[in-house]
Amino acid sequence: MRWDDFRTSDNVEDRRGLPVPGGARGLGIGTIIILGLIGWALGIDPRLLIGGAEMFQQQSGGYEQQQGKTGAPQDQMGRFASAILGNTEDVWKETLPQQTNRQYQAPRLVIFSGATRSACGYAQSAMGPFYCPNDQTVYLDLSFFQDMQTRFRAGGDFAYAYVIAHEIGHHVENQLGILSRAQARQREVGQPEANQISVRIELMADCLAGVWAHHSQQRWNALEEGDVEKAIAAAQAIGDDRLQRQTQGTVIPDSFTHGTSEQRTRWLMTGLKTGQVQACDTFRASKL
C-alpha cells in the first residue's frame, strides 16, 4: 500500500511511554485478567466489564486524564497511523455528507503503549484497538500490528489500515446515531441478543472500512497487488469462530460479538465493492 502521499492528521495524541495516571486507584493487572476471563466465559465483551469497573473506580477515587504529545508522530508506525487517520478524514468529510447529508466531525486517535485511560474506562493493549464514543477517540497500541503478524499471521500495511478504518467505522456509526441506539438496546435485552447486536455493530464497521478503502482507492490509487488479499486474511483471522476454535477448541455462536470469518470478509468486501454507506446497514440486512 502506497500511503506516503496521504496527508497526516493532527488529531493524534501520542501517549507512548507515559505512566498510567492514578497510581493505586487504577485497576490492577490481575483484576483486568480476571475480568477478561469472566467476559470470555460468559460471552461478554471484556471491555464492558473492565470499563464498568474502571468507572466505579473513578467515581470512588477520582480520575486523572493523561496528556501526550499532539500532532503526527515522527517514527514510521506512528506516521503510518497518522497518515491512515488523515486519509479517513479526507474520505469521510466528502463521502458522509454526500451519501447521508451528515457533516463529518473527525475523531481523535490516541496511540499508547501498555495501558492508558479513556472516557470509557481503562484501556489495555491486550484488549486490542477500540473506539470510545464518550470522547470520540480511537485507542491503539501499535504493538497490535506485530501481534497480527505473529499471532494471526495477517500482516501488511493495508491489513493494518483496515484495523484503523474499522475503528473509524464505529465513529461513523456514532455520527449517524446508530451506535448509541444499538448500545441502548443492548442494555435492555438478554446477553445472547446483546451479542447479536454487537455482531451487527462490528460487521457494519467492517463494511464502512471497505467504503473508506473504495473511495480512497478511487482518489489516490494507493492499493498494490496483494493488498486486498491481506486485508481479507486479517478479517478471516479475527472472526469469532476461528478465534474460539483456536483458543477453546469449540465454537459457541451465541457468544459471538464480532461475527464469523466469512461474515467479516463478506461485509468488508461489500463496502469495498459498492462504496455505499447504505449497503452497510447490517440492522436491516436479512442475512448477516
Task: Round to whole Å and give the CA distance between 78 and 187.
Answer: 36
pLDDT at 178 over 60: yes
Helical segments of the chain, H only: 29-42, 46-61, 76-100, 143-150, 157-175, 178-186, 191-220, 227-237, 240-248, 261-274
SS3 110: strand
- The domain locations on the chain are 12-280
pLDDT in tens, 7-65: 999 999 999 988 876 543 455 556 656 666 665 655 555 555 565 555 555 444 444 55
Residues 6+ apart with CB under 8 A from 105: 136, 175
Give the pLDDT of residue 252: 87
pLDDT in tens, 188-241: 999 999 999 999 999 999 999 999 999 999 999 999 999 999 999 999 888 888
| Whether the Cβ atoms of residue 148 and residue 163 lie closer than 8 Å to each other | yes
Mean pLDDT score across all residues of the chain? 87
C-alpha cell at 205: 464497521
pLDDT in tens, 53-66: 555 554 444 445 56
